Chains A and B, each alone.
Chain A
Amino acid sequence: MRRRLSLAVVSLACALSGCAAFAPPQPWEKGMLARPDMQIDRPPLEAKATQHIYTSKEGAGGGYGVGGGGCGCN
């Protein structure tokens, strides 16, 4: 089941991007990559709050960074 799920994600990503051409951009082509919505990390306050909610309501959390500290949510 898990394998099916990850395969689905990869195929979806591929289809949506039209299997994007691999052409790492030149410095002057990075304008779009600098957009806020193109940043991989979410704004810190938003990310901290949502990760805190999920970690406190689900079995395990993490994967986003190191040393963020814990909370008493077990």
Chain B
Amino acid sequence: MAATDAGAAEASQPHHRAPGDAGADRGDAVPRTTAAASGARRGPDAATLLAAALALPGVMPAAALAQTAPDQGIVAMRYFDYRDWQPGAERMNVHSPSLYLLKPLSDSLSFEGSVVYDAMSGASPLYHNTLSGASGVGITEYRTAGDARITKYYDRFAVGGGVAYSSERDYLSRAWSVDLRTWTADKNRTWAFGVGGARDNINPVNGITQGRHRETYDLLVGVTQNINANAVVQSNVTYTDGRGYYDDPYKPFDRRPDTRRVWAWLTRYNQYVPSADATLRLSYRLLLDSWGANSSTIDAEWVQALPHGFTVTPGLRYITQQHADFYRDPPLGNGLRPGQPYTADTRLSAFGAFTPSVRLGKQFADGWSADIAMSVYRQKSSWHLGGEGSPGLLEFSARWFELGVQKTF
């Protein structure tokens, strides 16, 4: 072993950082070349020998190479406790445990699956203070949902296929998806292409209609780029085209178009900040909706590493949404025209909403980790960017707690 006998050390070298250090002022192993060396052989030889060394099996941890199948499995459990309300009344309450599994099946094949069980009680929120005839006060509804996906990894691309379902008393949704990811040789840029479809069956409990369905197709094109050793950005464009039954059967007079097309452009950016040992996570999503409920959402999180394996993550999300073309302000029935779409659903009104949140995580030994988080959501017409929120609505609030545990194996 190289002796580090400080007592007998000569005047030591000024310390410098080796290649690969986060935040190093060297970037890669750029030589400080002498005048003689700068004209010497460069480039191809260095790259070739390094490439040959990196081609040796197992000399670099797989974590540094994100385009290979995972070599560890993950099992995670999460518990969600959600509650929402409007001033003067408690409304919906959801308790939701969920389970997730990631299992490598071979060194190029992986399986992922999850199941969720929601127990929902309380009314759907009464947004309009003029609505009479509340729908379904006090019912407890259960929803189970699950999904599974298999991904196969090749040298320069990966292909995945998955199925998903969601089932509750009045609603059943089944979906499939296929995705292809392909990356450059240096794995710094990944293109993603996805296609999926879903078929939903709706059987409202109030009998207002039966056996309705709707079909949706979506397409996704996206790119992920490692900007440098500390920053990565991803931008996806998604197109969703749906046909079928969209009305909300529990809302009076509700009648919506039987098609909907949504374009979504989501850009996410992560920046590691070495001086703080923290990561800034930013995202912006633009939604363009054929119903007119366009929105912009920005989301920011600061993941701060703390001693002893803790991290604390404050976050803030803001969304501003336009109202749907066929949304009508209260009173209920205002602007209703026979044969024309209509909704008083405040989810399709114009509003702004903030979600401040905080999460505390801890990494334990042996691949265990846990986190708890709390988020508070408040939606107000007056928070619509530009100030033209839909009038006559009460603010809507919600909060949720999360508790999660995860083990790699």
Do A and B have CB atoms closer than 8 angstroms in the complex?
Answer: yes
Give complex CA distance A43, B396 in Å. Answer: 27
Q: Which A residues, 20 to 74, have Cβ-Cβ distances below 8 Å to chain B?
A: 20-35, 37-40, 43-46, 48-50, 53-54, 56-60, 62-72, 74
Q: Which residue, of A28, A71, A74, has the highest number of chain B Cβ atoms within 10 A?
A: A74
Centre residue among B230, B280, B294 by max chain A CB count within 10 A: B230
Contact of A62 with B229 in the complex, beta carbons under 8 Å: no
| B162 close to chain A: CB less than 8 A | yes
**Contact call B228/A24, Cβ cutoff below 8 A:** yes
Docked-complex contact A63 and B238, CB < 8 angstroms = yes
Which of B27, B114, B227 counts the most chain A CB atoms within 10 A? B227
Cα-based distance from A13 to B65 in the complex (angstroms): 26
Size of the B side of the interface (Cβ < 8 Å), in residues, is: 118
B266-290 vs A, CB cutoff 8 Å, 1 = contact: the mask equals 1011111010000111101111010
Q: Kindly state whether residue B360 has any CB partner on chain A within 8 Å.
A: no
Interface check B191, CB cutoff 8 A: no
**CB-based contact B262/A62 at 8 Å:** yes
CA distance A32 to B305 in the complex (A): 13
Given the interface contacts A13-B269, A29-B28, A38-B272, does A48 sit within 8 Å of B296 by beta carbon?
no
Number of CB contacts from chain A to chain B under 8 A: 260
The 8 Å CB contact of B60, one of A6, A28, A45, A48, is: A28
CB <8 Å contact, B226 and A68:
no
Task: A63 to B298: give the CA distance in the assembly, Å.
Answer: 13
Within 8 A of A (CB), among B293-319: 293-296, 298, 303, 311, 313, 319
Known: A35-B279, A48-B98, A67-B194. A21 touches B228 (CB 8 A): yes
For B145, B231, B262, B313, which residue has the most chain A Cβ atoms within 10 angstroms?
Answer: B231
Whether A29 and B265, one on each chain, are in contact in the complex, defined by CB atoms closer than 8 angstroms, is: no
Residues of B within 8 A of A22 (CB): 227-228
Contact B198 A70 (CB under 8 A): yes
CB of B76 within 8 A of chain A? yes
| Smallest beta-carbon distance A58→chain B, Å | 6
Q: How far is the CB of B49 from chain A (nearest CB, A)?
A: 14
Q: Measured between C-beta atoms, what is the minimum distance from A63 to chain B in Å?
A: 3
B6-14, B169-177, B330-338 - interface stretch: B169-177
CB of A12, distance to nearest CB on chain B (Å): 8
A66 contacts B385, CB within 8 Å? no
Asked whether, in the complex, the Cβ of A24 is within 8 Å of the Cβ of B226, the reply is yes
Q: Cβ of A23 and Cβ of B400 under 8 Å apart?
A: no
B interface: dominant SS = strand
Contact A40 B234 (CB under 8 A): yes
Given contacts A37-B311, A67-B198, whether A30 and B226 have CB atoms under 8 Å apart is: yes
Q: Give B95-126 interface residues, CB cut-off 8 Å to A.
A: 96, 98-100, 112, 114, 116
With contact pairs A27-B60, A67-B196 given, residues A57 and B100 touching in the complex (Cβ less than 8 Å)? no
CB pair A59–B194 under 8 Å, yes or no, is no
Q: Is B71 an interface residue (CB 8 A)?
A: no
User: When chains A and B are docked, how far (Å) is the Cα of A25 from the Cα of B19?
Assistant: 11
Report chain A residues within 8 Å CB of B271.
13, 16-17, 20
Task: For the complex of A and B, list the 5 residue pairs with the smallest distance between their C-beta atoms, beginning with the closest.
Answer: A67-B196, A67-B177, A72-B171, A63-B264, A59-B293
Query: A interface vs B, CB < 8 Å?
Result: 1-2, 5-6, 9, 12-13, 16-17, 20-35, 37-40, 43-46, 48-50, 53-54, 56-60, 62-72, 74
Name 12 extra pairs, CB < 8 A, besides A24-B226, A59-B348.
A12-B282, A30-B226, A32-B274, A43-B404, A53-B377, A58-B347, A62-B240, A66-B196, A67-B195, A67-B196, A69-B164, A71-B173
18 A-B residue pairs with CB within 8 Å:
A1-B385, A2-B320, A5-B385, A17-B231, A26-B186, A28-B19, A28-B64, A29-B27, A30-B64, A39-B270, A45-B76, A48-B116, A59-B291, A59-B321, A63-B287, A64-B266, A69-B173, A74-B347
What residues of chain B have their CB less than 8 Å away from a CB belonging to chain A?
A: 19-20, 22, 27-28, 54, 60, 63-66, 76-78, 80, 82, 84, 96, 98-100, 112, 114, 116, 143, 145, 147, 162, 164-166, 168, 170-171, 173-179, 186-189, 194-198, 200, 202, 216, 218-220, 224-232, 234, 236, 238, 240, 246, 248, 262, 264-266, 268-272, 274, 279-282, 284-287, 289, 291, 293-296, 298, 303, 311, 313, 319-321, 324, 345, 347-348, 353, 375, 377, 379, 385-386, 396, 398, 400, 402, 404, 406
